[in-house]
Amino acid sequence: MKTLLFHKESDMSLCRKGVLLGWGMLVASLMCVVCVPAVARKKEFRNVKKVVRGFSAIDTAYIEPQHFEFTAMLQTTFTYDIYELRSPGGQSITFSPDVIMKVGPYFGWRWFFLGYTFDLKNIGFSSDKRKQELDLSIYSSQIGVDFYYRRTGSDYKIRDVNLGDDTDMSGLSPLSFDGLSVGITGASLYYIFNHNRFSYPAAFSQSTCQKISCGSWMAGIGYTRNSLDLDYGKLQDAVNSYMGRTDVKLDSGMMFNSVKYYNANVSVGYGYNWVFAKNCLLNASLSAVLAYKRSKGDTNDGVDEFSFNNVNFDGVGRFGIVYNNMRWYVGASAIIHSNNYRKPRFQTNQVFGSMNIYAGYNFGKKKKYRKK
């Protein structure tokens, strides 16, 4: 009996141990189900963080990284715009405003740079002639993104007129013309191939310092939307007033109220940073742009519409010079865009650009650069 009882108790003990073991395995399995995704998420986060840090990876023998978190800057901007309208009949008219000086503050934090400039001559916000510009830029050593919004106002002047038939129109230039208004909104993304040694931000955002001269190929994509509003009636009245008669007519190619341009493009270019003295940098970069353009406009009577699709080569040039000792910086930069639209129904050539003169101060030193 004792022997039998002993075996029964052993069986019961084994049974209890089996149950406990089963519960333990179940709990362990549940813990694995909960913990494995957490570990995976943590690993994924580390990978994302590594990729983000890779955007700012540089060779410190060529580039000195930014020592500060924030920057404040005051910038003066001079802008220039010229538009040439050309008809199939050979008539052409060129418009451009006077060179405009705008002033505004900018503030930067790491990759982000935000600013606003306003025209000193038209500071009243109720004026239809005021110039506006809003830019948001995100810079890193590897890629850059630019968003821009511009409204050039309506205080253009007629700079050149050619109506054919040897008609002398020289007295019509320069004539103030408020029947033209232009706007541009767009975004662009570019990639710097030699980003470890070439610093594009060193020349245009002052977020790093180039220590050794170096160059790099660049490639990018972009999208731009332009609007051009023309008061054809005012333009014809200006011609009639100057000629003293009404028999000189503008070609049908000039007879439109508004045109909208949609521009999707890819670009490739080369930039070079020349360090000509300590803390001093001179940059020049040129890009060829292959653009697919779609435009749509309406004629003077508001009924007839025209549209065209086109592929053209455009160009962009950037130039900059800067002194930057990490705490203070001062410099100048310029950018020039050249766009053209050519179709039998309507042609335009557009050149616009700006030159910036700026001075700024960096503050909020990063922890690793603070003196211990």
The pLDDT of residue 197 is 94
| Of 316, 318, 359, 357, the residue nearest 78 (C-alpha) | 357
Instruction: Give the CA count within 13 Å in the CB-facing half-sphere of 358.
Output: 31
Q: 201 with 144: CB under 8 angstroms?
A: yes
What parts of the chain have a pLDDT lower than 70? 1-56, 111, 121-137, 139, 153-154, 165-172, 243-247, 252-256, 297-309, 343-346, 372
The pLDDT of residue 278 is 92
Give the max Cα distance, the chain.
136
Q: 317 with 286: CB under 8 angstroms?
A: yes
Output the six-digit token pair for 325: 């000792």
The pLDDT of residue 166 is 67
The pLDDT of residue 228 is 79
Tell me the C-alpha distance between 328 and 91, whole Å: 52
Query: How would you class 230 by CB atoms within 10 Å of its CB: exposed for 0-12, middle for 13-18, buried for 19 or more?
Result: buried
- Residues 128-156: pLDDT tens digits? 455 566 666 676 788 888 887 877 766 78
The pLDDT of residue 14 is 42
Q: 56 with 198: CB under 8 angstroms?
A: no
Output the six-digit token pair for 73: 């800057």
Can you list the alpha helix ranges (DSSP code H) found in the chain? Answer: 2-54, 200-204, 232-243
| Of 348, 48, 73, 93, the residue nearest 228 (C-alpha) | 348
The pLDDT of residue 191 is 93
For the chain, how are helix, strand and coil distributed in percent, rounded to 5? 20, 55, 25
The pLDDT of residue 216 is 95
Strands 156-162 and 68-86: unpaired
- CA 30 from chain centre, in angstroms, equals 50
CA distances from 199 to 75, 144, 203, 211, 281 (A): 21, 11, 7, 10, 11
